[in-house]
Amino acid sequence: MDTKIVINCAMSADGKIALPDRSQIRLSNKEDMERVNKLRKESDAILVGIGTVIEDNPRLIIKNNKNLSTNPVRVVLDTNGRTPINSNVLDDKSRTIIAVGNHFAGEIPGNSEVIKCGDEQIDIELLMEKLYERGLKNILVEGGENVLWSFLNQNLFDEINIFVASLIVGGAKTPTVAGGSGFTNKIDTLQLKLKEAEKIGNGILLKYCKK
Ligand SMILES: NC(=O)c1ccc[n+]([C@@H]2O[C@H](COP(=O)([O-])OP(=O)(O)OC[C@H]3O[C@@H](n4cnc5c(N)ncnc54)[C@H](OP(=O)(O)O)[C@@H]3O)[C@@H](O)[C@H]2O)c1
């Protein structure tokens, strides 16, 4: 399987990706948003977790794109089928796949495709295979903190793009780039290779790959 997985997120200079109450904060500047839009254009699918859908209600489409058929497919990790009926990811701007747990017997509103994949949580490795079978080979993972952690923890990425905004958010429980349980000893920490560091306006784009 030659799936390419790119992780993209924006953080404050102290590593936070939202406000302490988990609400969204704009961290990307105009130039960085253009970069992300380009990244979306190159992707077959944009993937987020249900936490991000509920908190940020993102649209996950290419901005100013008149040809809706070229929008990437939106993929939501949603084990228990909690995607709200009025979520922007369920609008008609693109196809949407909701990955649910094998136990899920309910219905997802709208005309989204439902893929059963995993028990306690979505089995992201298996999901990548199921997306590949549907021709979705370039996957852009956009968050939030628990989904980012899962992809990092399972070594499921080819590239990580982190835009570092020049501001501090603070807060011990504020979401960060990698939530979850974290690596509990030094040997297990995820070692990365820094490929690029580019100043973009008043921020920095860091590009990493596996070491
Ligand atoms: N700055 C940025 O770039 C950026 C981007 C996106 C989001 N955010 C921020 O991130 C925060 C949301 O993060 P979050 O952690 O609450 O939500 P999340 O990572 O978007 O979604 C997490 C949820 O996804 C479901 N899930 C299913 N399978 C999973 C798996 N294998 N691994 C991980 N999660 C899985 C779980 O819910 P179920 O058990 O119900 O399935 C889990 O609680 C918000 O504050 C948002 O503003 C920031």
Q: Is this model's pTM higher than 0.95 or not? A: yes
Residues of the chain with pLDDT under 70: none
CATH code assigned at 89: 3.40.430.10
The residue to mutate among 48, 146, 163, having the most atoms of ligand 1 within 8 angstroms of its beta carbon, is 146
State how many domains the chain has: 1
Nearest to 96 by CA among 67, 141, 135, 61: 61
pLDDT of residue 108: 84
- For ligand 1, atom 17, name the residue with the nearest CA: 51
Domain coverage including residue 33:
4-210
pLDDT of residue 1: 81
pLDDT of residue 12: 98
- Centre of ligand 1 to C-alpha 199, Å, is 28
- For ligand 1, atom 1, name the residue with the nearest CA: 17
- Centre of ligand 1 to C-alpha 6, Å, is 16
The residue to mutate among 46, 50, 117, 155, having the most atoms of ligand 1 within 8 angstroms of its beta carbon, is 50
pLDDT of residue 66: 87
pLDDT digits (tens, 9 = 90+) for 39-61: 999 999 999 999 999 999 999 99
pLDDT of residue 109: 77
pLDDT of residue 110: 79
Which burial class, exposed, middle or buried, applies to 11 when counting CB atoms under 10 A from its CB (0-12, 13-18, 19+)?
buried
Task: Locate 168 and state its tokens.
Answer: 């501090």
Q: Phi/psi of residue 39, each to 5°?
A: -60, -40
C-alpha span between 30 and 127 (Å, rounded): 33
- For ligand 1, atom 43, name the residue with the nearest CA: 51
Closest atom of ligand 1 to 179 CA is 15
pLDDT of residue 13: 98
Strand partners, 116: 100
